[in-house]
Amino acid sequence: MSILKKYEFILEGLDCANCANKIQNKLAENSNYKNVVVNFNTLKLSFESELEEVKEEIEKVVKSLEPEVEVIDLHDKNENHEHHNDHDEKEHDHHKHHDHNHCDDKEHSHCSYNHDEHKHKENKKHDKKKNKKAKKKNANLIRLICGIILMVIALSGILPEKINLVVIVFAYIIMLYRTSKNALKLLKQKVIDENFLITISCIGAFIIGEQFEGLMVIALYEIGKILEEKAINNTRKSIASLMDIRPEYANLKHGNHEHRVNPNEVNINDIIVVKQGEKVPLDGIVVSGNANLNTASLTGESTLREVKENDKVLSGSINEKGLIEIKVTEKYENSTVSKILELVENATDKKAKTETFVNKASRIYTPIVLSLAALVGILLPIFTDITYTESIYRALIFLVVSCPCAIVISVPLSYFSGIGKASKEGILVKGSNYLDAIKDIKYIALDKTGTLTKGKFEVEKIKVYDEKYTEDQILEYAAFAESFSNHPLAVAVLEKYGKVVNKDSITDFEEIAGKGLSYKLDNLIIKVGNNDLVNCEEEKEIGTIIYVKIDENVIGCLILNDTIKPEAKDVIGNLNKLGISTMMFTGDNLEVAKKVATEIGIKEVKAEMLPTDKYNEIEKVIKNKISGNVAFVGDGINDSPVLALADVGISMGGIGASSAIEASDIVIMTDNLKKIEQAINISKETNKIIKQNLVFAIGIKVMVLILTVLGLSQMWMAVFADVGVTLITILNTLRILKRK
């Protein structure tokens, strides 16, 4: 059985959302291509195929539908981008006082100025295409200006009638050149798009004696398309600037020397230097120095984070003050920055129901309006006293209104803006469908430890049940077990113990899911965990209890307590006000769970749960829900199955945790519960903008169609209903990004 290979291309120059849908639908018809997605927001075409060579065929299909679009292999594009960065960085370093002889050392050959010939050729080819496109744009603009000048001269009436007609014809030829050329190319492929509709409308207007109307239509259409492309590109740039966290270089240390290199060239365990004002390029551990890091681009939080030796740091942070040396723990492709950028860039590949519906509706919208245009042109003179010239004029207006661009563009751009805005706030949404789903949450279950509480436990008390042992010994036995775990409870026990654990004396270590830990020490079987593990009389103290059992004797316990997050009560109160049923699911004991729930306002509590219990309970809630979506909020590590099962899985404090990113639909990059409210608000705002755009676009088009049937509209109104409305909906979409 052949293996499916994933392909990704950039469709450079694609400025029409409806055309993006046509390309997607055309490629999807071919059985060789699976899971075809054309992402209009990122201009990315992705699909899977068993074929080895696909670019030539893809180019043929794309060119047949959009002649001016260039198909660029995403791999080649990234290589060219890196090539540019390498070149710029090395040029910059050339002016610094580096020891150039050092670069001759084979051991450090990565810092030489060697330029790969293939990359150079690809780079030149890419630049040539870019220049060609820029020239074509300039030529189109000059052509449009010349056409408008001729139109103004003709409108002024200063020329004799016959010469004026010649000027009008020339104005038509000049301004309709690009549109008619594209229309003819597509007509050969049996495809009708807005180029064809505009061409027919303008030629029809000329034939029935409405020459100036026809010129006005093409002039307004061309101007509108230029403004539309600019507005779309500005929206993309605005979103890109929100996520401007990609590091441009890394200061790689070799002995006493530093060399500026591309982050992709740095390996695990290499040492990098981050100076004041620079971005942290890769994840790692501080091995020297201290600094104040701005993590706002990752978490949305403005408070600076102080880091020192042995602290973990994440790529994308900015060093506001200080100087640190970092030992790299992840290659660039696995770094936090890379994961975040990949998530955000690919998020709108997963389309929401609204987007899918609009795409399907747009396919039947144009044929319906074209059919109505034919009926208007043929039937109006039969049933009314208007002439065929008037009915054809009205039918031509229908043709201009029949392009669904305003409807199709506004929806994906709105979701793209919403996801970009959320990412700026430290909320990573993995798809348009999940952004859409957040607003409909009606049930939300939250894990307790690390979600509603800080997850920062403290050992408040140690109780001795067997007089042969002391508190220190009980603590030591517990610390020996917890030294193998990174759970918040383990951290608290080890902090209380305060010594280095010698693991060499420990054998037969075993972790028992949902219960605790077991190991052997000097032939003694020691168990450390909850009551299910040791099976003793329940401790009456309120708190999280860790029992210590040697062989068959429970010798004592540790009582730990956690602190409720300060914002928890307000957030739960606000969620309840929104009509969302809040629940707590926890593995902790019932008394502790009830105490926390009462304090913050959660009425339904499920305690002493194993991961499987949480899974089964969420399954019940989903099965019995009346309406809306079910969300689960957890830490993304132990709760992966539940996060995956819920309609919306939300993981908290997901910085750098690959398990959190993989398991959940939404990753909140901090431990702040208010981000859940923020996510809901961004989802609602995005949905509101989408509804406004759809109502406005459809409303204007329907109004112009009705006015046209009644003979109360003109062609310029139809152009406004097409490109004018598109521009307004794009500008309205930008409000999502500016929302506070």
Give bridge partners of residue 519 from the DSSP assignment: 526
Q: Give the separation between CA 116 and CA 120, rounded to whole angstroms.
A: 6
DSSP per position, 426-483:
TEEE--HHHHHHHTTEEEEEEEIIIIIB----EEEEEEESSTTS-HHHHHHHHHHHHT
Whose CA is closest to 601, among 625, 624, 571? 571
447 is an active site residue: yes
How many helices (H) and strands (E) the chain has is answered by: 25, 24
DSSP helix/strand/coil, 10 = strand
Q: Do β-strands 441-447 and 629-634 pair in parallel, antiparallel, or remain unpaired?
A: parallel
Cα 70 to the center of its chain, rounded Å: 24
Both tokens assigned to 190:
């049996």
DSSP per position, 624-642:
H--SSEEEEEE-SSTTHHH
Other CB atoms within a 10 A radius of the CB of residue 315 amount to 27
- Name the phi and psi angles at 236, rounded to 5: -60, -40
Q: Give the separation between CA 251 and CA 103, rounded to whole angstroms.
A: 15
Q: Give the separation between CA 288 and CA 308, rounded to whole angstroms.
A: 7
Angle among Cα 654, 656, 660 to the nearest 5 degrees reads 40
Question: What's the N-to-C CA distance of the chain in angstroms?
Answer: 52
DSSP helix/strand/coil, 11 = strand
Cα 269 to Cα 284, 326, 330, distances in angstroms: 9, 9, 9
- Eight-state DSSP code of residue 9: E
Q: Give the separation between CA 577 and CA 575, rounded to whole angstroms.
A: 5
Q: Which of 86, 447, 588, 635 is catalytic?
A: 447
Q: Give the separation between CA 606 and CA 316, rounded to whole angstroms.
A: 38
Give bridge partners of residue 20 from the DSSP assignment: none
Catalytic residue set: 447
